[in-house]
Copies of this chain bind each other. A is one copy, B any other.
């Protein structure tokens, strides 16, 4: 029998027999796969979903269940925010930076309101209220939060700010799990056939077309005929060190991967038939430095005592820029009016204290006139509501002049810098996987973090962008496959 592997598709002529036959085969049961299955089944296709774990979830279930939605939702309007498709779309493009997929930004910008309604129609509950402040995840059942850098420079100057993080109604952290549960129920209700403990190991090709896949179940290769298409929704490659070494080596600066078996299998399967992985060097990272909330008023400096960003940006953007700094660590400076004990899990330590910033500078071993000069400039302008260097805004812009002072250390090795990869297969807005020449591969679709999508650029990521991408473009991929 021909051996097959993720990097070597199996020609259909070598398939010994078919174990399963379906119209659409979806690989991976996080939010992207679930939404693909729902739409494909809803379109009347026979759908089978294969998941290597013992149940649904993926990285989606580890998230806060927050989805980035704008353009004037009920929650935005109720809270008094005017948001437009134009501003929302502009922000999506800014967040994508040099990696932005303009067509995906425009389609999602135009369709997000309808997508929000679709999510509600699937049964995802939203209370509809607004929770102000810097929030990573609401711990009550609130809906709308600021989840990006919308109100921070340079974003605020190019797209009118509005909060756009929409969180499933859920008490406590971790709304991702109930979100996937609802999507799973919906997929099952629509007749999608779910196979768990079923790991995809190769695609099956019929000439230039993807005709199915090989899945390993109980250590046996099973052959799945997918007459309309295969949808890859297997997540990123944060747990594949060899892939990270080749394509995303800067991610080794941080040490707390988030994911659920995200080993890049979908990217490898897609590439095995000519798919085009792009922006593979991009990764998201964040350290929860805005908890407790007082700490969000802090000032970051690098080991040379220099600021490097307006700290009112999204915590992930600040964290990603922090990881670019030399010396393996950065310091978060706070005064006694704004210090609280950091979260234990964050691994953030106290590196220096003092009754003056000069004392803190000395405790950190920095030369006199570095950190202390930085803070003198910062405070003198913050007192007047200005940050001439980085344009940090109120209410985060406050003078830090109440002794004693403290420098917290965010260490890239030992602090909790969670991260996941953003690069993946290049796809159309319909989820078709493209070759390097820009041609769709017949029969192959993909969505979520095995693709490069809305959250394309680590420095621009905003919370809810990956789930927005997974749910919305998962739907497109499922529908395109069903109608193929």
Residues of A bordering B, CB below 8 Å: 5-8, 97-99, 246-247, 249-250, 252, 268, 271-272, 274, 276, 278-281, 304-308, 324, 366-370, 373-374, 376-377, 380-381, 388-390, 426, 435-437
B249 touches A279 (CB 8 A): yes
Further 18 A-B residue pairs, CB within 8 A, beyond A98-B249, A246-B426, A281-B281: A5-B437, A7-B274, A98-B252, A246-B276, A246-B278, A247-B278, A247-B279, A304-B308, A324-B324, A367-B381, A368-B377, A369-B376, A369-B377, A370-B373, A370-B377, A373-B373, A373-B374, A373-B377
Offer 29 A-B interface pairs, CB within 8 angstroms, sorted by A: A5-B437, A6-B437, A7-B274, A7-B436, A97-B249, A98-B252, A99-B249, A246-B276, A246-B279, A246-B426, A247-B278, A268-B436, A271-B436, A279-B281, A280-B281, A281-B281, A304-B307, A304-B389, A306-B306, A324-B324, A366-B388, A367-B377, A367-B388, A367-B389, A369-B376, A369-B377, A370-B389, A373-B373, A373-B374
**A99, A274, A324, A369: residue with the most chain B Cβ atoms closer than 10 Å:** A369
A324 to B98, CA, bound (A): 13
A294 to B66, CA, bound (A): 56
Number of copies: 2
Q: How far is the CB of A180 from chain B (nearest CB, A)?
A: 30
A247 contact set on B, CB distance < 8 A: 278-279
**A6, A381, A389, A426: residue with the most chain B Cβ atoms closer than 10 Å:** A389
A390 touches B304 (CB 8 A): yes
- Which B-chain residue is minimally distant from A367 (CB atoms)? B388
A374 contact set on B, CB distance < 8 A: 373
- Which B-chain residue is minimally distant from A247 (CB atoms)? B278
B389 touches A98 (CB 8 A): no
A308 contact set on B, CB distance < 8 A: 304, 306
A250 contact set on B, CB distance < 8 A: 98
A380 to B368, CA, bound (A): 10
A249 contact set on B, CB distance < 8 A: 97-99, 279
A376 contact set on B, CB distance < 8 A: 369
- Which B-chain residue is minimally distant from A381 (CB atoms)? B367
Q: How far is the CB of A8 from chain B (nearest CB, A)?
A: 7
Question: Which of B5, B324, B369 is the one whose CB lies under 8 Å from A373?
Answer: B369
A435 contact set on B, CB distance < 8 A: 7
10 shortest interchain CB distances as A-B pairs: A98-B249, A306-B306, A373-B373, A281-B281, A7-B437, A367-B388, A246-B278, A369-B377, A304-B389, A7-B436
